Amino acid sequence: MSIVSTKEMLLDAKKRKYAVPAFNIHNLETVQVVVEAAAELYSPIILAATPSTVKYAGPDYLLAIANVATARYNIPIALHLDHSEDIDYIKQCIDLGYKSVMIDASHDPFEENIRKVSEVVDYAHRFGVTVEAELGRLGGQEDDLVVDEKNSIFTDPEKAVEFVEITNIDSLAVAIGTAHGLYKDKPKLDFDRLERINQLIDIPLVLHGASGIPDKDVRRSIELGITKVNIATELKIPFSNAVKQFFNEHPEESDPRKYLTPGKDAMKKVTIEKIKLCGSDGKAL
């Protein structure tokens, strides 16, 4: 088995009313963690990599690691280029073998967003690659993309219909009150807006900025149509905290195999919790 697109797994999630977790990964260790957890729970999984992660690890290295994971475990695994604003770079990753991409032109005017997304869709669909796009803008910081809270914009349900029909995207990331990174205040999600969007369009919906959202709100979002839940910060913090604690207790240690293992263990615990929260355990096709 090799890496797959997100198309079939998200359509199945939509049909059976669960969500596939998309975990932000950065290197060999973080890929190992989320894939091992998913395999233990027999869950489909999405390895989400931001443009800076792909450039840091190397797009070919990252793809090779993902392909080794798919050969080892009998579960659907997608490698997803997340939040890329660079159309040429997206095409390069598609040419290399990436099967799932996100073009983020949400900061552009509506018509320009459509134009950029349509260009990526036209190219990606020739190779069986799925495309995610975003309408509306989430606050917070994702990679190098920073949006002040005052500049965040909720997704307009009627505009979403037009956007999906014109672009022919495979999944839509919606802005309903979540944000990237850590929340300063308790997030308040617009469930009525999400329900309306789900009623009007028929493609899988994506929830970005899920780290820090109460479990009950994540479950409610899934009930109302969310089929992919993005998780990043809630994985990075326990990983880094465990490594810091290890060095506090063993300041003389220099072996990466020893100081990275506690980080992996801490991250795996959260990964398992999130898979169960999304209801994707036991859903690998």
Using a pLDDT cut of 70, give the percent of the chain over it: 92
pLDDT at residue 151 in the model: 39
What are the pLDDT digits (tens) for 137-195?
Answer: 765 444 554 444 443 689 999 999 999 999 999 999 999 988 755 545 667 899 999 99
CB count within 10 Å of CB 272 equals 19
Q: Point out the catalytic residue in the list 12, 60, 82, 281.
A: 82
Nearest to 159 by CA among 186, 191, 192, 135: 135
Check if 185 is active-site: no
Gyration radius (Cα) of the chain, Å: 18
Please give the backbone phi and psi of residue 169, each rounded to the nearest 5 degrees, phi first. -70, 165
Is 181 known as a binding-site position? yes
Instruction: Report the pLDDT averaged over residues 19-25.
Output: 97
Sequence-ordered list of residues with C-beta below 8 angstroms from that of 83, at least 6 positions apart, any chain: 50, 51, 102, 104, 142, 143, 145
Is 83 known as a binding-site position? yes
What are the pLDDT digits (tens) for 37-52?
Answer: 999 999 999 999 999 9
Average pLDDT, the chain: 93
Nearest to 51 by CA among 142, 119, 138: 142
Please give the backbone phi and psi of residue 185, each rounded to the nearest 5 degrees, phi first. -130, 165
Sequence-ordered list of residues with C-beta below 8 angstroms from that of 184, at least 6 positions apart, any chain: none
β-pair partners for 134: 173
Is 231 known as a binding-site position? yes
Is 180 known as a binding-site position? yes
**Topology at the third CATH level for domain 7-278:** TIM Barrel (3.20.20)
What are the pLDDT digits (tens) for 90-124?
Answer: 999 999 999 999 999 999 999 999 999 999 999 99
pLDDT at residue 178 in the model: 81
